[in-house]
Structure 1
Amino acid sequence: MFALLLASLMTLSPTPPAAAWRTPFENDPAGNTTATYAECIGYYQKLAAAYPQHLHLAEAGPTDAGLPLHEVVLSPDGDADPASTRRKNRRILFIQNGIHPGEPEGIDASMMLARDLMQQKNLQKLLGNVTVVIVPVYNIDGMLNRNATTRVNQNGPAEYGFRGNARHLDLNRDYIKQESRNARSFAALFQKWQPDVFVETHTSNGADYQYTMTLIATQHSKLAPALGTYLQGQLLPALYKGMEQKKWPMTPYVDFEGKTPESGLQAFLETPRYSTGYAALFNTIGFMPETHMLKAFAPRVHSTYDFLKTMLETVGQQAPALAAARAQAAADMAAQTRFPLGWELDDSQYETVQFRGYEGNTKPSEVSGQPRLYYDRAAPFIRPVKYFNTFLPTVSATRPTAYLIPRAWAEVVELLRRNGATLEPLATEVTVPVETYYFEDFKTTSKPFEGHYVHSQVRLRTVRETASFQPGDFVVYLNNAAPIRYLMETLEPQATDSFFAWGFFDSVLQQKEHFSDYVFEDLAADLLRRDAPLRDRLEKLKKDNPAFAANGPAQLEWVYLNSAFHEPGHNRYPVVRWLGQGRVEAAR
């Protein structure tokens, strides 16, 4: 076994590293050790000191652990300035590791890849037209919480970090709400670099199968057409071919509805709460390589190394096509008037993949005596399996000229600014015609999810009305320089991961004033006598709905809600849409 592991390690790169440059993973004959946080950052500090002409290491903002996020920049000439890098027409590959530190393969693989890019001349050429940005460890908090038990489904390493961060947040659900300092620092770094391709390394859970590496790519249906076509037609085929040549056949991430994968694989819908969904909002193609948790740690690290190397090779080879696809996507988005905000799987469309699996069977459980699933590794197979990889939009909205945001919602204003939006404070009071949303209905989770009771299935009533805004309130224009899709998917409340969905506006859902029945009875009766249309609407409701006709309190509540006594801010979305031309101040 030791000889096999050593041989595998030696084939990882053409030239084995000198003893002084071996990582903790490489120094373990069993290949079952991942670096600690101190070892990881210390290793990059050592690289930065030895190779300043190519590797730049810097702090990139705080985290909830009280320690800084780090940014490692690998370039052919030491250029760590994003603007200069773009002027040199280099593509930018952004690699992030350790968001779930119990899935640490990318931490160790990136350390080795960074070293090899510095020390091996045949690999240095891969940086010719690509700058690589590495976040060595994103969830520093979880990496410091080292243990050997929390990844119960996983085969090594001997010790590892914890999924949650210091606030017990799963950071791969925090890309939109950005409650953690980690996410805020990441957003600033992402916006600074605006990468062409984003990779976040993971380890899977779920079924057993033959593959060491599986892959989630940004859902092509959600990308701008030029990017989706490029991803499906050029980038993904090259990645799969490159990994096959390196003896790591890949499959799409193994997610399915039936008992076993043969029931059909389903593409993962990575909404903006996830890293690749967030990246897609900015026309960045995202990937989550997911190594198989039941394979030993050593091949998982090796396959991650080879995936990152293959990605670097491919981005360099396809640099002109990638640049052209992103440029076309930006141009198309500037002209786009309607944007999808929610998606569902299209089960009428599928492709076929040759899946390498194990037969799934049942046997009596030694715990319960009931039938339990197991995968028979003595019965491997390769057979065609349907892969459902198309999503259809379920909700969409037209693009306004601008959104108007009262300055009271400072948290939302801060989020927008951090993610590349330009918000302009109004200098004077303006009164303009706008589109205002009122919440008619929505569903809310019964239990908290990542600290929030998340809303979905939002039903809105749109009202065209005149609204006044005060000096210091904000306007954000959806012009060509704006992150248009990000603004649409956060500020349109019906979007899957909107700020409303995450509870940022929950206070408007609660009435602040109400009535006492015995007092309002007389007011309501007088109102109905004076307002014939209102009375007629009430009578029609009673005629059409016997249950309502028999419910006195419900009728009184209806009259209240349809009267001037009902507070105007209740169920009113405070962010409004302006559809005019030019600037808001000129339209008042």
Structure 2
Amino acid sequence: MLTTLLLAALLTTGAPDKKPDLKTPYEKGNGNVTATYDQAIDWYKTFDKAYDEVKMVPYGYTDSGRLLHLVIVSTDKDFDPASIKQKNKRVLLIQNGIHPGEPEGIDATMMLARDYLQDKSKRKQLDNVVLAIIPVYNIGGALNRNSHTRTNQNGPEEYGFRGNARNLDLNRDYIKTDSRNAKLFHLIFRDWDPDVFMDNHTSNGADYQHVMTLIATQHNKLNPTLAEYLNKKMVPTLYTQMKQDKFPMVPYMNHAGDTPDEGIIGFMESPRYATGYTALYNTIGFVPETHMLKPFDQRVKATYKLMENMIETVHRDADEIGKLRAKAKQETLQQQQYPLNWQLDTTKVDKIPFLGYAAKYKPSDVSGLERLYYDRKAPYSKNINYYNTFTPTTIVEKPVAYIIPFAWHEVIDRLKTNKVDMQQLTRDTTITVDTYYIADYKTSPRAYEGHYLHTDVKVEKRTMQRQFLKGDYVVYLNQEANRFLVETLEPQAVDSYFAWNFFDSMLMQKEYFSSYVFEDLAAEYLKKDPELREKLEDRRKADLEFAKNARAQLDFVYRNTPHYEFTHNMYPIGRLMQNVKLPL
């Protein structure tokens, strides 16, 4: 009878809710296992169902044909970025698996998100901080599992591959945006406008005692208001907390010489890199780099601790960070000059504590020649030089607007992906603009990430009237994207769209002349233009090879006549310098 009543009660009220298993594949493993892409996504789906404070959002398909997801952890169950900003909450965007062979962040972030909802003391820190998590960014690379390509790395047993489904390194794709992954990242980034960004990695390079190294946004490139906070408060706090947690940090080991003993150089991340891109929008960025030779479980724990300390710091300084970013955004709107390219100032040097191993040399068992090794039986602690001051080498004046001909759709599409405000001309119009002519450049002889990069670009600026057509785009520099626009549309910038080959067709001359026909016409021009004849004579005297080359002399005259196409080497984007009324 009792059994019958109990069964009836269970059927009426339902069995007690059973909490889902939220142990991660890493926790279920042996400390040397990382989650596959499918395991990670399945875990986050379970996490989403278990907590109303979690929402998993598919953003679109990547180059792999699989969906890129964003997981939002918001303790008041508000998942609208605009509403979250109105509540003066800070957004911390955590990205994992951009290089899936460096997977610590994938595993550490799953545990971190779960623990912050299950632990009441930690949960309070999310009162004013919303977590936005990209579980696995490079899905194609994550699906390409193996145990060998991270040759120098100590675990895990299996991991993903650096290249994505198109063999692109996604940490070189933030500006050129060749991958669907990067396009989706731009949508996420511009939707959520994160205050702080973390992109979890594993290092390569020297051997040393530290488990965690850190790249912070290069302070000279960051808005000065944010840079002061970053240098004087945020970074010192993180270093202090990590030392207390038994994971003392050091800046990323970008050696000045063969070994760290000769000092290290701050990483000058251009906008092709994650934190170089995020800095364009006044987001404070970090790239944690755990040490490749440390056991995987130590690397996961160090990554977890750094993210934990980051949340605590953002929670503590939430109001300050919000005010500083608002000030930085306003200063960017008012900024009239923009630095584009940088060089290291070797006269500025700091001393930083470093826990290393003695660098020694011995004969190689392979070549018989001298080889470097680090002696773990000879640890040391000492201060080393740290060079982290850069000065701009190229500075440009901000135009009122850029005018981009409709034809350059690859550039227009990338601006749209970045949610740039643009307007179009409603009729054909003659406009006075500053126009660049490409005077010189160097081009990489080998492909780099699918392109042949232009470097050391030299320009000549001319003010001229140009005909623009109905449908051409006018992009005013009165928006949050100002710095992004300058660094992509000024051809001399290191990661400009010109540098990435999107304007190469304008570098080729389309019309020429037949020498035997142009001979008589060139002679007429020289008769009518004594100044041109004098220039030709001067060139002959200065250049004996030129004086022996008839075709070169005809070409010299040709280039100084109306027959030469004025669009050859002309950068097509116009720089509007006066705020004139345009038909928009």
Q: TM-score range by the shorter chain?
A: over 0.9
- 1:183 to 2:182 alignment: yes
- Please tell me whether the aligned partners of residues 63 and 179 of structure 2 are also in contact (alpha carbons under 8 angstroms): yes
Offset of residue 220 of structure 1: 0.2
Aligned to 1:413, the other structure's residue is in SS state helix
Q: Corresponding residue for 1:43? A: 43
Q: Distance in 1 between matches of 2:117 and 2:490?
A: 46
Preserved contact between residue 221 and residue 392 of structure 1 (Cα < 8 Å): yes
Shift of 1:27: 1.2
Alpha-carbon distance, 1:483 to partner = 0.8
Could you say what secondary structure the match of 2:21 adopts? helix
| Residue 514 of structure 1, CA deviation | 1.5
Partner of 1:228: 227
- Computing the radius of gyration from Cα coordinates, the structure with the larger value is 2
Deviations 1:423-442 (A, max 9, x none): 10111222111000001000
* 4+ residue runs over 6 A deviation: none
Residue 20 in structure 1 maps to residue 18 in structure 2? no
Contact 2:432–2:576 (Cα < 8 Å) also in 1: yes
Q: How many residues align?
A: 566
Structure 1: distance between partners of 2:567 and 2:500: 19
Q: Which runs of 5+ in 1 are unaligned?
A: 1-17
Match of 1:503 among 501, 510, 515: 501
Matching of residue 541 in structure 1 with residue 539 in structure 2: yes
Counterpart of 1:5? none
Q: Does 1:478 align with 2:471?
A: no
- Within 2, Cα distance between the matches of 1:115 and 1:460? 53
Q: CA deviation at 1:564?
A: 1.5
* Separation of aligned partners in 1, 2:317 and 2:493: 33
Aligned residue type for 2:536 = L
Maintained 8 Å contact 2:63/2:164: yes
In structure 2, distance between residues paired with 1:522 and 1:448: 44
| Distance apart, 1:471 and its partner CA | 1.0
Are 1:201 and 2:208 counterparts? no
Residues of 2 paired with 1:149 and 1:19: CA distance? 35
What CA distance in whole angstroms lies between the structure 1 residues aligned with 2:455 and 2:530? 37
Secondary structure at the aligned position of 2:149 is classed as coil
Shift of 1:582: 4.9
Output one character per residue of 1:29-71: Cα deviation in whole Å (capped at 9) or x when no partner.
Answer: 3x1100011110000000100002x111110122001111000
TM alignment of 1:484-495, pairs within 5 A: 484-495=482-493
Aligned to 1:214: 213
Answer yes or no: is the 8 Å Cα contact 1:435–1:464 preserved in 2: yes
Q: How does 1:187-586 map to 2 (within 5 A)?
A: 187-479=186-478, 481-585=479-583
How far apart are residue 19 of structure 1 and its match?
A: 9.6
Per mean C-alpha deviation after superposition, the further-off stretch among 562-571 and 206-215 is 562-571
| 8 A contact 1:364–1:370 mirrored in 2 | yes
Cα drift, residue 543 of structure 1:
2.3
Q: Which residue of 1 aligns with 2:10?
A: none
Shift of 1:519: 2.6
Q: Write the distance in 2 (CA, Å) between the matches of 1:225 and 1:419.
A: 24
8 Å contact kept, 1:155–1:296: yes
Report how far residue 547 of structure 1 moved.
3.5
1:52-94 CA distance string (max 9 Å, x none): 2x11111012200111100000111111110000000001100
CA distance in 1, matches of 2:34, 2:361: 35
1:468-498 CA-to-partner distances (Å, cap 9, x unmatched) read 111111100001x341000000000001100
Structure 2: how far apart are the matches of 1:553 and 1:392? 45
CA distance in 2, matches of 1:19, 1:400: 57
Distance 1:238 1:557 in 2: 64
CA distances 1:328-382 after superposition (whole Å, capped 9, x unpaired)? 2112112211100101111110111011111101111100000000000000111
The alpha carbon displacement at 1:302 in A equals 0.6
- Per-residue CA deviation, residues 533-578 of structure 1 (Å, 9 max, x unaligned), is 2111121222233333333332222222222121122100000100
My pick for the range that moved more, 293-302 or 558-567, is: 558-567
Give the structure-2-normalised TM-score: 0.95
Do 1:420 and 1:482's aligned partners in 2 also have CA atoms closer than 8 Å? Answer: no
Q: Does 1:76 align with 2:75?
A: yes
Out of 338-347 and 20-29, give the one that drifted further. Answer: 20-29
Q: Distance in 2 between matches of 1:459 and 1:562?
A: 21
SS at structure 2 position matched to 1:356:
strand
2:7 is matched with: none
Question: Distance between the aligned counterparts of 1:319 and 1:19, measured in 2?
Answer: 33
Deviates more, 1:416-425 or 1:190-199: 416-425
Distance 1:412 1:267 in 2: 31
Looking at structure 2, the residues matched to 19 and 135 of structure 1 have their Cα atoms a distance apart, in angstroms, of 22
Task: Give the counterpart letter for 1:50 in structure 2.
Answer: A
RMSD, aligned α-carbons: 1.3
Structure 1 counterpart of 2:34: 34
- For structure 2, list consecutive stretches of 5 or more residues without a partner in the other structure: 1-18
More deviation in 541-550 or 220-229?
541-550
Counterpart residue type for residue 282 of structure 1: Y
Contact 1:422 1:482 survives alignment (8 Å): no
AA at the equivalent of 1:251: V
Return the alpha-carbon distance in structure 2 between the equivalents of residues 329 and 220 of structure 1.
13
| Structure 1 position 527, deviation (Å) | 1.8
Kept in 1: contact 2:22–2:46 (CA 8 A): no
Note if contact 1:226-1:328 (Cα within 8 Å) is conserved in structure 2: yes
- Paired-residue identity, %: 52
Measured in 2, the distance between the counterparts of 1:482 and 1:531 equals 51
Deviation at residue 417 of structure 1 after TM alignment: 1.5
